[in-house]
Amino acid sequence: MKEVVLRVCLVAGLAYGVACGSDDRADSDRNPRETKDNMSIAKGGGAGAAAGASDTASATSATSIRNPVVVFFGTSLTAGYGLEPEQAFPVLIEKKAQSEGLPIEAINAGLSGETTAGAARRIDWVLRTPADLVVIEGGANDALRGLSPDAARANLEQVIAAVRRKQPSAKMVLVQMEAPPNFGAAYTRSFRAIYTDIAKKEGIPLLPFLLNGVAGIPRLNQADGIHPNLAGERIVADNLWSALKPIIAQLDRAQKSG
Active site residue 224: yes
Q: Which of 40, 112, 132, 227 is catalytic?
A: 227
What's the CA gap between 110 and 104, in Å, rounded? 18
Q: Which of 55, 124, 224, 238 is catalytic?
A: 224
What's the CA gap between 205 and 41, in Å, rounded? 24
How would you classify residue 247: left for phi > 0, otherwise alpha for psi between -120 and 50, otherwise beta? alpha
Q: Where are the beta strands (DSSP E) in 66-114?
A: 69-74, 105-110
The Cα-based distances of 220 to 60, 61, 78, 230 in angstroms read 45, 47, 16, 8
Q: Where are the beta strands (DSSP E) in the chain?
A: 3-5, 40-43, 63-65, 69-74, 105-110, 133-136, 171-175, 206-207, 254-256
Active site residue 37: no
Active site residue 242: no
H/E run at residue 93:
helix 89-99
Based on DSSP, count helices (H) and strands (E) in the chain, helices before strands: 8, 9
Q: Which of 76, 112, 132, 142 is catalytic?
A: 76
Angle CA 134–137–143, to nearest 5: 160
Residues with a catalytic annotation lie at 76, 224, 227
